[in-house]
Amino acid sequence: MRPEAGPPPRTARDAGDDTRALTLVMHTAFFVLLGASLARYLSRHPGDPLTPLVVTLSVLLAALYMLGPALGARLTLRRVTWLGAVVAAWAVLVVLAPSFAWCAVPLFYTGLRTLPLRAAVTLVCLLTALTVAAQLKLAGWPDPNVLLAPPAVAAVATAVFLTMERQAARQRALIDDLVRTRRELAATERREGTLAERERLAREIHDTLAQGLSSQRMLLQAADRLWDGAPDTARGHVRTAAAIAESNLAEARRFVHDLTPADLAEAGGLPEALRAVADRESRAGLTVRLHTEGTPGAPLAPAVEAALLRIAQGALANVREHARATTAAVTLTCLDDQIVLDVADDGIGFETTAERAGRGSPRGHGLPASRARLRQLGGTLTVESAPGEGTVVSASVPLFTDAAEGRGT
């Protein structure tokens, strides 16, 4: 059962949207409070000689406050000067009309956003003290509510703002870490993909071009030695080398285009492809026979067929180059749950120490490459040999698995 998907992770854009929304609320609140304070003053003091001055200062304060967004949020001299002008205009208004003290709450937010922490807290304390003084003047007596409410509101507003700022900073740090981790993960995946592709290319080149070139070299060297004494045999070696070169050319073209191995494409199935390889490897001094037992319940995946064919080609190349064998047998066995390929020879064999069993022959890349192929399909490779008793290479691949069906990595 797939786990339920959680909420999508927040991004820097989400955090910026939250900040803009809070800023818009605070700006709106400032103008609402300013308008309400002016309306209250006009309704409570009709005909007051200070009314023109209060109205003028209210309009000036609104105009000054509207200049703030244009100055940006960074701490600059122009921004600090603007904040000082706004606070000064508001302070004069509070002295003239104490009801304008309610505009202090949005100014708390503006000061906390603009100034460093200590300066901002100092400004909040001054605004709070002026608010308390104005409200006491309005009340006419030391009202405990007037003495305690403004400091409590200022403390709550400051604590909420600082908490949000810390959370925003942590969120920005987490987002930066996430972006950096994603970049590192992408770089790691690219490196792993490059290494995997390099390993795949190494296996393909070893099992096709390198083996063919090695065979051609041996045949041409033999032809050179026999050219004068046995020209017909030498020409036979040259013709065989040419046939191998033609086969390698076909493999190279398919290799470049990442197509099915040439023997599989031409034969139409793994047994027929193995028979073609056995016939091609049978030459003077070496006889290769093919045995098949059983048939798979379903067509084999192309990846399985290609891997087993490459392993057979590599094993027979080792027989030809190193084993000094006269006969070799390739056996393909189809069982209910797996398919097994055995390549046995009657050559000189070797000592399969733990080190060689883990790393393959020290002479080359063949056994490690075969193990890597089978590992991708969930299969295994075993090598049994002893000095003077020949060698058996056995490859098994489980059937009806994701990897064997070509859906594995």
What band does 376 get if pLDDT is binned at 50, 70 and 90? confident
pLDDT in tens, 231-275: 888 888 888 888 878 877 777 766 665 556 767 777 778 899 899
Per-residue pLDDT, 397: 93
Element (H, E) at 293: strand 287-293
What band does 108 get if pLDDT is binned at 50, 70 and 90? confident
Per-residue pLDDT, 407: 44
Q: Report residue 198 as tokens.
A: 């390099």
Sign of CA pseudo-dihedral 25, 27, 31, 34: positive
- Choices 3.20.20.70, 2.40.40.20, 3.30.565.10, 3.40.190.10: CATH for 268-409: 3.30.565.10
Of 1 and 76, the structure prediction assigns the larger pLDDT to 76
Per-residue pLDDT, 205: 73
What band does 408 get if pLDDT is binned at 50, 70 and 90? very low
What band does 186 get if pLDDT is binned at 50, 70 and 90? confident
Place of tokens 């290769």: 288
Q: Which of 23-27, 155-159, 294-298, 299-303 has the lowest mean pLDDT?
A: 294-298
Mean per-residue pLDDT, 149-154: 84
Per-residue pLDDT, 401: 53
Per-residue pLDDT, 85: 92
- Sorted by sequence, the CB contacts under 8 Å of residue 54 that are 6+ apart come out as 38, 41, 48, 93, 96, 97
Per-residue pLDDT, 383: 92
0.85 exceeded by pTM:
no
Cα(301)–Cα(334) distance, rounded to whole angstroms?
Answer: 14
Sign of CA pseudo-dihedral 364, 360, 220, 253: negative
Cα(359)–Cα(369) distance, rounded to whole angstroms?
Answer: 10
Strands (E), 118-246: none
pLDDT in tens, 294-345: 887 678 888 888 889 889 988 888 888 888 899 999 999 998 889 999 999 9
Domain boundaries, the chain: 12-142, 268-409
Sign of CA pseudo-dihedral 27, 28, 34, 35: positive
Of 193 and 237, the structure prediction assigns the larger pLDDT to 237
Instruction: Examine the pLDDT at 354 and tell me if it is beyond 50.
Output: no
Mean per-residue pLDDT, 67-84: 83
> 292, 269 in Cβ contact below 8 A?
no
Mean per-residue pLDDT, 161-179: 85
**What average pLDDT does the structure give for the chain?**
80
Sign of CA pseudo-dihedral 76, 78, 83, 84: positive
